[in-house]
Chain A
Amino acid sequence: MSFGAPWLLLGLFGALVPIIAHLFHSHSRRRIQLSSLRFVPQGSTTPQRRLQDRGLLFLRILAWIAIALSLADARCQKSSQLQIEARPHDALLVLDANARAQHRRDEQSQWDRQRSAALDLLQALPPGSRAALAFLGSQLPPQPFQSDFTTLQTRLTALGEEELEQSPVPGLDRQSAIAIHERRLQLSGLFEPSPERPKRIYYIAEAAPRGLLQIKGSWPANIEVIPVPTREAQNALGSSGGGARSARQIGIASLRVAPPIATQPSTLRIEATLENYGSAPWTEELQLQLQVDGQTVSTQRTRFSGREPLKVRWNYGLEHEGGETAGPQAARVRLVNHRDGYAPDDQYFFWLSNPKALQVGIVNGDPSEQRGHDEVYLLTTALRSAFVPEKLSIIGFSPEALREAATGDPQSLDDLDVLIMANVVAPSKKLARFLEQRVRAGMGLWWTVGNRVSAKDYNQKALSLLPLSLREASYVATQAGATAPQSIGVEAPRGAHPLWRHNPGAVDLQGSSTRRMFLLTPDPKGQAQTALAFQHGAPALLSKNLGQGKIALLTTTVDRDWSDLALRPGFVELVRATVAWLGQGRPGGGSLFPESVAVGAPLPIPAALVEQNEVRVIGPKGYEQKIPPTLPDTPAPPLLLPRAGHYRVEIAGQKGARIAANVDRGESPPPQPAAAQQSPRPQKTETKLATQSIPIWPYCVAFALLCLLLESVLRRRSA
Chain B
Amino acid sequence: MNPSIQRAFAELIPPKLFAALPHLRLPPLRRPRRGTQGQYRDPRPGGAMEFREHRRYQPGDDPRRIDWRAAARRDETITRIQEGQSQRPLIAVLDLHAGMNYGAIIPDISATASATPQSSDRATRGLFSFRGATNPVHSDPSAAPPLREKWQLARGLAALWAYQSLQQENPTAIALAKSIPERRPPRPSKNPLATLDYLEELARCIPHAASELAPCLRALSQELHQPNIVVLISDWLDLSNEHQDANEAQDACFLALEALSKQGHTLVGIEVLHRDEVEFRFEGHPKHARFEDPRGRLFAVETDIARVRSAYLSALRAHRHELQQRADALSMRWLSLRSDGDWISQLQGTMRSEPDSPPLEQSFKITPSGEPQ
**A29 and B288 within 8 A (CB):** yes
Q: Are A48 and B312 in contact (CB under 8 A)?
A: no
- Size class of the contact patch on chain B: 35 or more
Structural contact, B300 and A45, CB atoms closer than 8 A: yes
The answer to whether B289 touches A35, judged by C-beta atoms less than 8 angstroms apart, is no
Question: Within the complex, what minimum Cβ distance (angstroms) separates B284 from chain A?
Answer: 8
Asked whether B98 lies within 8 Å of A35 as measured between CB atoms, the reply is yes
A34 in contact with B308 given A29-B286, A45-B302 (CB within 8 Å): no
A282 CB within 8 Å of chain B = no
Q: Are A32 and B282 in contact (CB under 8 A)?
A: yes
How does the 8 Å CB contact mask read for A7-36 relative to B, with 1 for contact and 0 for none? 000000000000000000110011111111
Residues of A within 8 A of B291 (CB): 32-34, 37, 40
- Docked-complex contact A38 and B246, CB < 8 angstroms: yes
Given the known inter-chain contacts A32-B282, A35-B237, please indicate yes or no for A719 contacting B287, CB distance below 8 A.
yes
CA distance A37 to B288 in the complex (A): 16
| Bound CA span A37–B246, Å | 11
In the complex the two chains form, is B316's CB within 8 Å of A29's CB? no
Name A44's contact: one of B235, B293, B301 (CB within 8 Å): B301
Task: Decide yes or no whether A718 CB sits under 8 A from chain B.
Answer: yes
A195 at the interface (CB under 8 A from B): no
A45 to B290 CA separation, bound complex (whole angstroms): 9
Cα separation A148 to B192 with both chains bound (whole Å)? 104
Which residue of A30, A35, A39 contacts B288 across the interface (Cβ within 8 Å)?
Answer: A30
- A39-B315, A44-B303 known; A33 vs B308 contact (CB < 8 Å): no
Also in contact, A36 and B237, with CB within 8 A (given A41-B312, A44-B303): yes
Main secondary structure of the interface of B (DSSP, over half): mixed
- Among the listed A35, A46, A47, which residue makes an inter-chain contact with B102, where contact means beta carbons less than 8 Å apart? A35
How far does the alpha carbon of A41 sit from the alpha carbon of B311 in the complex, in Å? 7
A53 to chain B, nearest CB (A): 8
Contact B300 A46 (CB under 8 A): yes
Q: Among the listed B99, B308, B312, which residue makes an inter-chain contact with A35, where contact means beta carbons less than 8 Å apart?
A: B99
Check A41 against B290 for contact (C-beta < 8 Å).
Answer: no
Known: A41-B312, A44-B302, A48-B300. A31 touches B237 (CB 8 A): no
A451 within 8 A of B: no
Q: Which residue of A lies closest to B287 (CB)?
A: A718
- In the complex, A29→B305 CA distance in Å? 13
Contacts of B315 in A (CB 8 A): 39, 41
Chain B residues closer than 8 Å to A535, beta-carbon distance: none
- Which of B100, B237, B307 interacts with A38 by CB under 8 Å? B237
A719 to chain B, nearest CB (A): 7
For A31, A39, A40, A718, the residue with the greatest tally of chain B CB atoms inside 10 Å of its CB is A39
Task: Please measure, in the bound complex, the distance between the C-alpha atom of A718 and the C-alpha atom of B290, giving whole angstroms.
Answer: 18
Residues of B within 8 A of A31 (CB): 289-290, 292
For A33, list chain B residues within 8 Å (CB).
102, 291-294
Which residues, 211 to 243 on B, are CB-close (under 8 Å) to A?
235, 237-238, 240
Docked complex Cα distance between A719 and B304 (Å): 9
Other than A33-B291, A35-B99, A39-B315, give 14 A-B pairs with Cβ distance below 8 A: A32-B291, A33-B293, A34-B102, A34-B277, A34-B291, A35-B294, A36-B235, A36-B293, A36-B312, A37-B238, A41-B308, A41-B312, A44-B302, A46-B302
Which 6 A-B pairs give the minimum distances between C-beta atoms? A35-B99, A29-B288, A39-B315, A30-B286, A46-B302, A36-B237
A-B contact pairs, 13 of them (CB 8 A): A29-B286, A29-B288, A31-B292, A32-B282, A33-B294, A35-B102, A38-B240, A38-B246, A39-B315, A40-B308, A44-B301, A44-B303, A46-B302
